Amino acid sequence: MISGMVMILVALWFYQSAVKAKTSNVLMWVAIGAVGFFVLQLLLVNLNIYILESFRASEGGAGYESLQGADRKNEGDFLGFAGILKSLYLEISPSVVGFLAIAVVRWKFITKEIFSVANLFSGLKEMFQNIKQSFKTPE
């Protein structure tokens, strides 16, 4: 859910950046941004699953799940403060890392500006202002 919303924002961000930079093939760059984010998201979620399952392999692996059920196996993994942090990491890290990677692609190939953190994330404020303006109704 979070990644879907971030992917829509990435597509809007790429569109506005490509139009502002007067890049040819604006829609191609929008597709590259959205598909690139999706592929990174897919890889990073699968990596998180692999890491999580490697930790759980010491608890008995697939044999334990078939006998006792996966729910009982997961019972203690996400309890307490450490469990909350683990849940937040597993949910948010693919979106954050994917967004940062796509921001580098946008900076390098679309805007072609000098590298700085401000240039890496330029255009985000304007994008959110445009989204806010789109919800206002004329009086």
Number of domains in the chain: 1
Specify if 63 maps to a domain: yes
Res 2: pLDDT: 82
Token duo for residue 59: 């608890």
Token duo for residue 112: 């072609």
* Residue 132 pLDDT exceeds 70: yes
Specify if 66 maps to a domain: yes
* Segment 23-52 mean pLDDT: 91
pTM higher than 0.85, yes or no?
Answer: no
Specify if 102 maps to a domain: yes
**pLDDT range class, residue 32, cuts 50, 70, 90:** very high
Specify if 23 maps to a domain: yes
* pLDDT, greater one: 37 or 52: 37
What single DSSP character describes residue 58? G
Specify if 113 maps to a domain: yes
Specify if 32 maps to a domain: yes
Specify if 139 maps to a domain: no
Whether the CB-CB separation of 38 and 7 falls below 8 Å is answered with yes
To 10 degrees, what angle do helices 2-20 and 80-105 make? 20
Residue with structure tokens 């979106």?
95
Q: Between the CA atoms of 113, 115, 121 and 122, what dihedral angle is there, to the nearest 10 degrees?
A: -30
* Residue 76 pLDDT exceeds 80: no
Range of the domain at 90: 2-134
